[in-house]
Structure formats: C-alpha cells, structure tokens
Amino acid sequence: MKKLRARFKKLDRAKYISHLDLYRFMQRTFKRAGISVWYTQGFNPHLYIMFPLPLSLGFESECEIMDFNINDDDLPPQAVMEKMNAVLPEGIRITEIYEPVMKHTEIDSSEYSIELVSSSEKFSEENFRSFMDMDRIVIQKKTKQKTMKDVDIKPFIDILGINRTDSSLKILLRMPSGSSVNYNPSLLLDAFNRFSESEPDITKINRVRILTANGEDFR
C-alpha cells in the first residue's frame, strides 16, 4: 500500500459539487481510471479518501487536497495523476500527486481571492478600507453547543491586497483554517455587506493557498 496526496483545482461549475458528493465523485473516478485503491478493514469496508480542509459549497479553489492509498506500490504518482485526469470532467483537474510530507494538524490558514461584482459605489476600495479600520468586526458564530455567540474576527484577518476595477472589488486575504481556529471568509463579507448597507450582484471566492503556521504551502 502506498500513501498519496493529490492537489487539485475545483473551478467553474464544479464549485457546486458538495463535500459529500465530491467523495462519491472521486470514488467513481478511481474506478473509471482503473486504479486499485485501498479500502478500510472491518465489518463495513469503505474507500479511504480524506479531504483535510473541506471547501464550502459555491467556493472555487486552486489548491484542494485529497489523501488516499493505492494498492500498487509500483505505480508512479505521475501515472496516477494522468489516469485520473483522463476521466475527470471539466472544472476538476489534478495538478500534482505526491507522497504526503506534512500532517493535517499543520494546516494553519488559507488565502482567498475574493471578487465582489457590483456597480454600487458602496463597494469602493475606500469603503472597504474604512470597514477594515474599525476597532472590531463582530460576527455571530455557532458554537459546538449549537448556540450563537459574538466573535471579533478582526485580529484573525490579514488583508494582502485590495483592487477596485470599474465593476468589481478584488480582495486577497488570509484567514485561519486550523483545527483550533477556523473562519470562513463569507463571515467577513456578510459583515461588510451590513456595514455598507448593500450587497454585491455576484460574489466569487477562490481559495488559492493552504498554509502552515510558518507560511509554507501545505504539502
């Protein structure tokens, strides 16, 4: 048995494939590609596939991660990638397969490219900067006890870039994605919508990097 990790893109219409459906989708992909994969043992054997950082429905990604095991130790990772890409549909493409280097617990944060498409002047760069200059950005987050509590997410947001075009506001930011602290960028956008008293016509969110605590790409 050989442990492998795949990095893949999930773009365009594929962003509407849910996390559960993605598991089923990849299961069919292995069968169509003719790759012998490892199943768990016991009374209820099932295909081992692990997505360490599930992507929210409607988000695109350039850097999704999937762990799996194959039974053929002699099959090179490059051959596995070619076989899978040959049967994958448009919108999902594996860019790299390699033996895992890091543990899932080393994931610390993610970078997102966000585009708000709107003709409203309320989505100006100046307005967003004013929003980020506030002392606190308070959102409501569901707890493990399924109650709601106020959380200030301002200390956890790192804005890497802001750019305004004629019809859109583009933002590059980093937010926590670890096992202890994990915030969805849609929480920030909802807070900005309330601040600006408006909503964009279209919101595009693309995860572009998954990082460790020291800023390295997760591998």
pLDDT tens-digit series, residues 169-217: 999 999 999 888 899 999 999 999 999 988 899 899 999 999 999 999 9
pTM of the predicted model as reported, rounded to 2 decimal places: 0.92
Question: What mean pLDDT value characterizes the chain?
Answer: 93
Q: Which percentage of the chain shows pLDDT scores above 70?
A: 100
Instruction: State the SS3 of 22-61.
Output: HHHHHHHHHHHHCCCECECCCCCCCECEECCCCCCCCCEE
pLDDT tens-digit series, residues 61-120: 999 999 999 999 999 999 999 999 999 999 999 999 999 999 999 999 999 999 999 888
**Per-residue pLDDT, 217:** 97
In angstroms, the Cα distances linking 6 to 74, 116, 199 are: 17, 30, 36
Helices (H), the chain: 19-33, 77-85, 125-132, 185-196
Band the pLDDT of 49: cuts 50, 70, 90: very high
**Per-residue pLDDT, 137:** 96
